[in-house]
Amino acid sequence: MSMSDPIADMLTRIRNAAGARHKRVDVPASKIKLEIARILQKERFISSYKYLQPEEEPQGAIRIYLKYTPDDEPVISGLQRESKPGLRRYCGSNDIPRVFGGMGVSILSTSRGIMTGREARKIGVGGELLCSVW
């Protein structure tokens, strides 16, 4: 069965696993999802991720290891898909939103690859606003 929004599926899996206090979650792999996982690790929202080679399936999987505070609260308190297949959301370099005054991260797909809103603002490029994490 084909999925209309694989990125929203990834974010929902992470959100549900964090809410259930799971240590890790597996999502079907793609290049864009690997880049989103890389950014989440770089911004310290997850502890790590690993690409699992495909055995029987046509595509591999990404195993994401979630991060929690010492009080056993998830580090990721919110994930929101911004640009949807039915309504794409683009923004210029001056219009990139700040998430919770800089406490969160916006992730964009630009002409120079997938990057955070902070990086895109710094090099002066805009693009499609994929999601916000806080």
Q: What does the pLDDT profile of the chain (134 residues) look like in tens digits?
A: 467 999 999 999 999 999 999 999 999 999 999 999 999 999 999 999 999 998 777 889 999 999 999 999 999 999 999 999 999 999 999 999 999 998 999 999 999 999 999 999 999 999 999 999 99
Work out the angle at residue 47's Cα, subtended by the Cα atoms of residues 42 and 53, and round it to the nearest 5 degrees: 90
Q: Tell me 58's DSSP state.
A: S
Backbone angles phi, psi at 99, to 5 degrees: -95, 120
Coil vs helix vs strand at 47: strand
Does the pTM of the predicted model rise above 0.75? yes
Supply the pLDDT for residue 2: 61
Domains within the chain, CATH numbers bracketed? 6-66 (3.30.1370.30), 79-133 (3.30.1490.10)
Q: Are β-strands 90-91 and 24-28 bridged in parallel, bridged antiparallel, or unpaired? A: unpaired
Query: How many CA atoms within 13 Å lie on the side-chain side of 40?
Result: 30
**CA 58 remoteness from chain centre:** 23
Stretch (H or E) spanning 55:
none
